[in-house]
Amino acid sequence: MADQLIDTSVAAPVVADGVIIVATSGSISSNNAGTALTLNGSFTAFIDGSIHAINDWAVFASGADTSASLEISENARIIAVSSPGANAASGIIFDGPYGELVNHGYVFGTFVGIGLEGLASGDQQSIENYGGVVGQYAVDVITTGTITVNNYDGAIIEGHTTGIHADSPGAVIVVNNAGMIAGPEAISVLGTLQLHNTGVIIGAVRSGGSATAAANGSIAGGGAAMQLDDGADGSTIVNTGKIIAGEDGVAIELGDGADTVRNKGSVDGLVNLGGGNDRFVSNGTADTVHGGAGRDVIRSGGGGDWINGGAGRDKIKPGRGKDVIVHEQGDGKDKVFHFKPGKDVLDLSDHNFSGFGDLSSAITGKGNKVVIDLTGSDQIVLSHVDKADLSAHDFIL
C-alpha cells in the first residue's frame, strides 16, 4: 500500500501497512463504524493529529516484524469512548511482539487505554510512555511473554479501576516508573512483577506471583500499599523511599514464600511478612513488623520499632531505638539478640502473667543469656543479657 498523509478530517476507518502520517491538522474518526485506524505489516505510523472511535478501538496495530513502529506526538489525542452500557472502547490495541509503541501524547479509552495481546511465552513487548494514558484499565495486558512498561518523568498512567493490569499468570511484567501511576489498584499483576519505582505510585501494588520491587520513590495504597502473594521463589522488596499504608493500616502484605524486605527509607504502616522463612532488615525509621508463620529473621534499624516474630523459631535483633518485641501464645521459641534492658521492652501480655513476680519464676539465667519459659512450649532466649539487669520496667504484662 502506498504511503499515506492525512492532513484533513477523515470520517471513515483507515487501514495502513506502510508509512502513515496523521498531521496536526488531520483526524480520523469512525463513529460506530469499526476501528478508526488499523495498522498491519511493516507499518510506520506517526500521529500528530487526533483519532476518535465510538464503541470500538481507536487504533489496532499488528506488526509483521520488528521494524513496525507507532509514535504518538505530544500534540496527538487518541480517544475511544463507549455508549452507556457498552464496554468495548479502547484507545490502542497492540497485537503481537512486533513493533514499537512510543507515546508522547494523550491516549484515552473508556475501557482500556493501551492493551497488549497476542504474545507467546518468550516474546517481548514494551510501552514507552512520556505522555498520558487513561482508562478503566489504563494499560491492560492479556497475554503471556515479557512486557516492559517504561513510564518516564512527567508521564501519567491512570486507571479508574487499575493503572497497569495483567491477568495472565504466565506474564512477566517489568515496570520502570519515574512518573505517576494511579488507580484504586495502581498495579495488579497475576504473574511475575518486577518494579523499579523512582516516581509516585498512588494506589495498591498487587502481584499474584513472585515479585521484586526497588523503590526510592513513593507508594501509597488504598488497602495494603503492596500486596505480594508471591510464589515458591518468594518476593524481594528494597525500599529507599516511602511506602505508606492505606485505610487498613497495612503497608506491605506478603505471601507464603521466603520473602526479603530491606528498608532503608520509611514504611508507614504494618509490614506483614506472611508464611515462609522470611527476612526483614531495616536501617530506616521506626518499623512495625509481624513475621507470620515460619522461621523469620528480623533486624530493626534506628527507630523505635514494634516487632512480633509470629509463629515459628524466629531470630530478632532490636536496633538502636527503644523497641517493643511482642511474643504471643503459640509463637514458639524465639531468640532475641542484644536486647537492651532499661530501653527495649518485651510484651508478654498474651501469656497472662499476674505480674513481674509471677514472671520471675519463669526466668532463668544461663551464662550470657536469659531463658524465659512461657505458655506450653513457648520460649524466649535473650542473648548477651544478664538476668540481674532485668526488671519489671522491661516487660509489658
Q: At which residue does the C-alpha cell 515479585 appear?
A: 211
Closest to 181 measured CA to CA, from 170, 192, 168, 196: 196
Q: What percent of the chain has pLDDT over 90?
A: 84
pLDDT 10s digits, 133-151: 999 999 999 999 999 999 9
| Mean pLDDT calculated for residue range 23-51 | 94
Q: What is the mean pLDDT of the chain?
A: 94
Q: Quick check: 253 and 246 in contact, CB under 8 A?
A: no
Q: Quick check: 110 and 84 in contact, CB under 8 A?
A: no
**For residue 43, what pLDDT band results from cuts at 50, 70 and 90?**
very high
**For residue 32, what pLDDT band results from cuts at 50, 70 and 90?**
confident
**For residue 284, what pLDDT band results from cuts at 50, 70 and 90?**
low
**For residue 210, what pLDDT band results from cuts at 50, 70 and 90?**
confident
For residues 57 and 159, give the distance between their C-alpha atoms in angstroms, rounded to a whole number.
17
pLDDT at 231 (0 to 100): 63
pLDDT 10s digits, 88-103: 799 999 999 988 999 9
**Is the pLDDT assigned to residue 160 strictly greater than 90?**
yes
pLDDT 10s digits, 75-133: 999 999 997 766 679 999 999 998 899 999 999 999 999 999 999 999 999 999 999 99
pLDDT 10s digits, 67-76: 899 999 999 9
Q: Tally the residues of the chain.
A: 397
Q: Quick check: 301 and 263 in contact, CB under 8 A?
A: yes
pLDDT at 273 (0 to 100): 96
For the chain, the domains span: 4-334
What are all long-range contacts of 292-301, with beta carbons under 8 Å and residues at least 24 apart? 292/254, 294/258, 301/263
pLDDT at 86 (0 to 100): 65
Q: Quick check: 284 and 268 in contact, CB under 8 A?
A: no
Grid cell, residue 345, equals 521492652
Closest to 110 measured CA to CA, from 78, 88, 139: 88
Cβ partners under 8 Å of residue 382, min gap 6: 336, 339, 369, 370, 371, 372
| Mean pLDDT calculated for residue range 287-313 | 94
